[in-house]
Amino acid sequence: MSLLAGRHVSIPSSRSAMNEIKWHRLLGKERAVMNRLLILFNRLRSLFRKRRLDEDLDAELRAHLDALTEANIRRGMSPEDARFAARREFGGLEQTKALYRDQRGLPFLETLLQDLRFAVRMLRKSPGFTAVAVLTLALGIGANTAIFSVVDAVLLRALYPQDERLVSFGVMAPFDSREFMLAADYVDWRGRQAPFEATTAVYPGSVDCDLTEQNPARLSCGQADASFLPAFGIQPILGRNFTREEDHPKAPRAALLSYGLWRSRFAGDPQIVGKNVSLDGHSTLIIGVLPASFEMPTLARADLLLPLALNESTDRGPNTRQLFLRAFARLKPGVTTAQAAAALEPLFQDSLNYVPP
């Protein structure tokens, strides 16, 4: 027993009493939830019994009016006056029906269905306007879908794992916003990648190529060295990456298929790896299939990916015609772009001596 504000208040002293209180509270919450579910169920069911419920409501209202009319007649009123007084006492019938319908159904859903039926009737009356409206909506939805796909691929979705560590490097020419690197410089540099975990190079654009067997098809082929996929964290969904032996001018031809070409040209053949196709008239071994999300870092189209196959003994003479590449690298963990630039500065200065005028 305890004394509070001058009154004796009994406080449960046993664990069983406290459990009983909690049990009653739990039952109260469960009943409230069940009541809400029952109300929702009844409202949904009333949507499919609308005519019968309206008939029952009319019958009930008539019974109430008849009872009031008979009571007024017993008080000495004429039948007409008794009926009028009963209606006045009962109130507006249509207002009563509207209030009842609001309580029994889902008004917002019924209003939506009414609006949809009205819209369908209006569209059927004006087929020309309907065709123009549907065509406009289709074009708008298609354009928005295309724009969102580009924005999602370029701005929202990361193309490569840990892309914050990916950088491009090279020499920037006047009036050009992109770096380039001479093939001979890249051959020298890729063996001295102190600030980088991996370096790679790709041909800036794409080259035309043909699958000449059966139905000839003009395609675009990208070119990258053997370290490209590992540097960008890309794993083929079928097969493997290029080996160093395949990334050589005199090596047998090998290629990776894009996902789209694999599906459209080869019907998604899961046994495509290891088969040979005729590419530009040369037998080419298919070694793998790239993922559907694959994009070249230069945004160049690539139906097939071929080895860059640089010549290790490329002449660096100033009068020699040079191959221009785009070079990329993955920074080592903890290395900043400023630190990488400082480490590469001596190599950049040396490369300027070989940049063609």
Predicted pLDDT of residue 229: 94
DSSP of 261-318, one letter per residue?
HHHHHHTT-TT-TT-EEEETTEEEEEEEE--TT---TT----SEEEE----TT----T
Question: What is the 8-class DSSP label of residue 163?
Answer: G
Strands (E), 91-206: 166-169, 171-172, 179-182, 196-202
- Mark 24-35 as b/e (b = at least 16 C-beta within 10 Å): eeeeeeeeeeee
**Which residues are bridge partners to 239 per DSSP?**
288
pLDDT number for residue 13: 46
pLDDT at 182: 82
- Which pLDDT does position 1 carry in this prediction? 37
C-alpha span between 258 and 304 (Å, rounded): 6
The CA-to-CA distance between both ends of the chain, in Å, stands at 102
- The token duo for 176 is 């050009």
Beta bridge partners of 270: none
Give which of 196, 205, 172 is closest to 328, Cα–Cα: 196
Query: From residue 341, how far is each of 97, 167, 168, 176, 346 by CA, in Å?
Result: 80, 11, 11, 19, 10
pLDDT in tens, the chain (357 residues): 333 344 343 444 444 544 555 545 555 566 666 666 666 666 666 665 667 766 776 777 778 777 877 887 888 888 887 777 777 776 666 676 666 666 656 666 667 777 788 878 887 888 887 888 888 888 888 888 878 776 666 565 667 878 888 988 887 766 667 788 888 888 877 777 678 888 899 998 888 888 876 667 788 999 999 999 999 999 999 999 999 999 988 899 999 999 999 999 899 999 999 999 998 888 999 999 999 989 888 878 899 999 998 876 655 554 444 678 999 999 999 888 888 888 888 877 777 776 655
Read off the tokens for 93: 């019938």
Beta partners for residue 282, in sequence order:
279
The C-alpha atoms of residue 40 and residue 33 are separated, in whole angstroms, by 11
pLDDT given at position 41: 61
How does DSSP classify residue 154?
Answer: I
Q: What local confidence, expressed as pLDDT, does residue 255 receive? A: 95
Q: What is the C-alpha to C-alpha distance for residues 45 and 50, in angstroms, rounded to an integer?
A: 9
User: What Rg value do the Cα atoms of the chain yield, rounded?
Assistant: 40
Which three-class secondary structure state does DSSP give residue 14?
Answer: coil
Q: Which residues pair with 209 in a beta bridge?
A: 219
